[in-house]
Amino acid sequence: MNWRDEIASWRREPVYFYIGASVVVSVFFWLVFFVGETGLIRFGHLWQYFALPAGLSEFVRRPWTLATYPFIHLNLVVFIINILLLHFIGTQLQILEHNERLFRLSIAGIIAGALGFWSAYYGIPAWFKDEQATYLTGVSVVHTAWLGYAGMRYGDYPLNMRLFGRWKWRWLLWLFLVWDLVQLPLVNTGGHAAHLAAMTAGILYAWILQKRRSKRGKFNVYDNYKTAGEKQIDRILDKINRHGLDSLTDEEREILYRESKRKNKL
């Protein structure tokens, strides 16, 4: 398999690619850190060569960090939360969207997260209180970009939140936005700035698609009303919300697949 085939496989399964890559890379650096701390080999800070630096002059010397920083996690709790959110948000959004679009959104989130991190560092440097804060790591920029997109484009669609009742995408987006805004001046300023930038990228992506769709809709009056097909989609989504994905029949899965292909062309 050549590199083009590798990239194509990532685009087909972005959720599991980001989960798998984050697990492998993070475990590797934890082992490296442990060995370095024991004094066996002095490379406990090797992760800094793959994390995104706050200083642009340092980034110019290590441009690859823009591609590697999402897969590095230094904190086990943060790592677990990110993996769970990647899986939850990604698999829920896969019901509505093609994996190709999720992959493009993830790239937008990674780039926007880096820009948000640099903007915060140069705009409010006093909030960066320790050395670790001057490096950006973590795959959270991916799932926050997905969330921004879903909250904007599918805000009223139901979410399967079994432990917390019936939710909508928009509510979850607002929860994350408020959390990151509150935490921004308190702790991990660069990380929260990256989250906000990634969510903004997802929101803008959805807004652009909606604008393009609305222009087409000017020539189709029936687009302003719910069709029988849209009502059927709503019933299927409600079934997922109540009973989970496993409750769908093969026919219902095929309907969702065709709908996601149609939306992907809009």
Q: How high is the pLDDT of residue 98?
A: 81
Please count the CA atoms within 13 angstroms of the CA of 159 that sit on its side-chain side.
23
- Tokens 């904007």, residue located: 152
Distance CA(150)–CA(202), nearest Å, equals: 8
For residues 85 and 143, is the Cβ–Cβ distance under 8 A?
A: yes
pLDDT (tens, 9 = 90+) of the chain, 266 residues, equals 554 555 555 566 888 899 999 999 988 888 877 766 554 445 557 788 899 999 899 999 999 999 999 999 988 999 999 999 999 899 888 888 888 889 999 999 999 999 999 999 998 887 776 655 689 999 999 999 999 999 998 888 877 666 666 678 899 999 999 999 999 888 888 999 999 999 999 999 999 988 876 665 544 433 444 455 666 677 777 666 666 566 677 777 777 767 665 655 55
Please, are residues 173 and 199 in contact by the beta-carbon 8 Å criterion? yes
Q: Please name the residue ranges forming H helices in the chain.
A: 3-12, 14-38, 56-61, 65-68, 76-94, 99-123, 140-153, 169-183, 189-217, 228-243, 250-264
* Architecture of the domain delimited by 3-225: Up-down Bundle (1.20)
Spatial contact of 219 and 210, defined as CB atoms under 8 Å apart? no
pLDDT at 260: 64
Closest CA to 78 of 9, 36, 138: 138
Among the listed residues 13, 170, 145, 132, the one whose alpha carbon sits nearest the alpha carbon of residue 85: 145
Per-residue pLDDT, 209: 86
Considering only CA atoms, which of 97, 227, 110 is closest in space to residue 149?
97
Look at residue 253 in the predicted model and tell me its pLDDT.
Answer: 72
Hunting for tokens 């804060």 — which residue is that?
133
Residue 79 structure tokens: 């790592």
| pTM, two decimal places | 0.77
User: Hey, CA dihedral for 114, 119, 121, 127, is it positive or negative?
Assistant: negative
Cα 95–97–100 angle (5° rounding)?
Answer: 130
